Amino acid sequence: MQKYSNTTATLALAKASFRSIMRSPSAVVFTLAFPIIFIVVFGFLGGKGTHIDVGIAPGSDVNNPVTAMLEKTGMIRLVKNKSKADFDKLLEKGNVDAMIDIHKRLNSVAYSVNVVYTSASMDKGNILKSVLNNLFYNKTLKPSVAEIKESTVHGREYKTIDFILPGQLGFSLLSTGVFGTAFVFLSLRQTLVIKRFFATPVKRSSIVIGEGVARIGFALLGALFIITLGHIFFGFTLVHGVLTVVNMLILATLGIIVFMGFGFIISGIAKNESMVPPISNIVTLPQFLLSGTFFSIDAFPGWLQPISRALPLTYLNDAMRKVAFEGLNLWDVKFQIMILVIWGIAIYAVAVKVFRWE
């Protein structure tokens, strides 16, 4: 008798599962269509919030009248207590829109205002520029301000797509992992496909690994497609090009493995197919809304932020953005990776308990 090969069996399953996923309309819709629709909508929508973040350079005079006037405008948020080096990074990324340094001039009561803009956020810089010019000609202020010096640092332009795409990618991985895995294992169990598999010499681990490999392959293909589309049509920033894409795909793999764990749990606790969507939504919706998919979680009220910071998708999104836009490597996002790994261990510990074969 030929020696039985578990690898052959696992690969045969992976191939079958991959073919099946590619032909399943719901998988394609969730993994590709939804994220792409959101990317296209937001890609064209563009635009950011209306506030302008202005950094106050360290060592800046604190009792000057200019910053007080700026705060009064209501559209300017002052960012304080950061080092010069921090501000340089923030400027470069466009996380702050400008930095001002205000000093009393030597031997004078008048102030000198030194403004640094960034090309990463030129539109907001321009708004600030006109605000400052208005102030400069303001009667009450004019005697105390002698001059405004301006300069611009060159930073990468941070576009809406750079925020939206990683979020949509995370969402795509979440829905593929959770819905796909839950549906497949539940239906294989209910239609006795798994029972028929058990009548062959295949191992249980081969069934799980085969399914997993197929789903990861499909999710990565989807991720690659989304990244390419975003890069070509909407100028999604990939700082180190292909290397960045590879790093993103590695993160995506980690993400999909964690999310598949939710799917295994749901397939175990759902009694029938109609129970899968509600339970899956309990897992996916909060993450969809609270994990910084559409909005930065900094925009959420304070009481909501701890919840956001507990969700795995938050960390995947965060890591993706850091890798894609800031050009960090995987070691730089080790904190986010660690949180995902902890989630993974916790989820699979539960999955092993609740997963059912029959």
Partner 1 sequence: MEKNKAIISVKNLVKKYDDFVAVQDLTFDVFENEIFGLLGPNGAGKTTTLEIIETLRDKTSGEIIVDGFSVDKQAHEIKQIIGVQLQAAGYYPNLNLIELIELFAGLYGASIKPMDMLEKVNLQDKAKAKYKALSGGQKQRFSIATTLINQPKVIFLDEPTTGLDPQARRNLWDLITEIRNQGTTVVITTHYMDEAEQLCDRVAFVERGKLIALDTPDNLIDKLVASGFERKKEVKKANLEDVFINLTGKEWRE
Cα 181 from chain centre: 22
Candidates 83, 133, 191, 228; binder of partner 1 (CB under 8 A) is 191
* Contact status: 26 vs partner 1 (CB under 8 A): no
Q: Do 181 and 264 meet the contact criterion of CB atoms below 8 Å apart?
A: yes
Choose between 11 and 146: whose C-beta lies nearer to partner 1: 11
- Please name which of 357, 65, 63, 69 lies closest in space to residue 197, comparing C-alpha atoms: 357
Residue range at the interface with partner 1 (CB under 8 A); choices 12-20, 132-140, 285-293, 309-317:
12-20
Instruction: Name the minimum Å distance from CB 17 to partner 1.
Output: 8
Residue type at 105 in one-letter notation: R
Candidates 110, 193, 282, 352; binder of partner 1 (CB under 8 A) is 193
* Contact status: 201 vs partner 1 (CB under 8 A): yes
The owner of tokens 């897992």 is 283
- Exposure b/e, 121-144, CB count within 10 A at least 16 = b: bbebbebbbebbeebeeeeebeee
What whole-number distance in Å separates Cα of residue 241 and Cα of residue 244? 5
Choose between 11 and 131: whose C-beta lies nearer to partner 1: 11
* Contact status: 32 vs partner 1 (CB under 8 A): no
Class of residue 234 by CB neighbours under 10 A (exposed 0-12, middle 13-18, buried 19+) = buried
The owner of tokens 């681990």 is 205
* Contact status: 320 vs partner 1 (CB under 8 A): no
* Contact status: 134 vs partner 1 (CB under 8 A): no
Tokens matching residue 138: 């303001």
Contacts of 83 (CB under 8 A, 6+ apart): 58
* Contact status: 8 vs partner 1 (CB under 8 A): yes
Phi, psi (degrees; rounded to nearest 5) at 156: -75, 145
What whole-number distance in Å separates Cα of residue 219 and Cα of residue 225? 10
Instruction: Name the minimum Å distance from CB 28 to partner 1.
Output: 12
Candidates 200, 232, 271, 272; binder of partner 1 (CB under 8 A) is 200
Cα 279 from chain centre: 23
Helix ranges, 137-275 (H): 160-175, 181-190, 193-198, 204-234, 242-269
* Contact status: 272 vs partner 1 (CB under 8 A): no
Choose between 25 and 47: whose C-beta lies nearer to partner 1: 25
Candidates 51, 142, 195, 356; binder of partner 1 (CB under 8 A) is 195
Candidates 85, 106, 109, 199; binder of partner 1 (CB under 8 A) is 199
* Contact status: 122 vs partner 1 (CB under 8 A): no
Residue range at the interface with partner 1 (CB under 8 A); choices 138-146, 198-206, 275-283, 338-346:
198-206
Number of residues that bind partner 1 (CB under 8 A): 30
Residue range at the interface with partner 1 (CB under 8 A); choices 79-87, 189-197, 294-302, 325-333:
189-197
Candidates 99, 132, 202, 252; binder of partner 1 (CB under 8 A) is 202
Binding site for partner 1 (CB under 8 A): 1-5, 8-9, 11-13, 15-17, 19-20, 23-24, 187-188, 191-193, 195-202
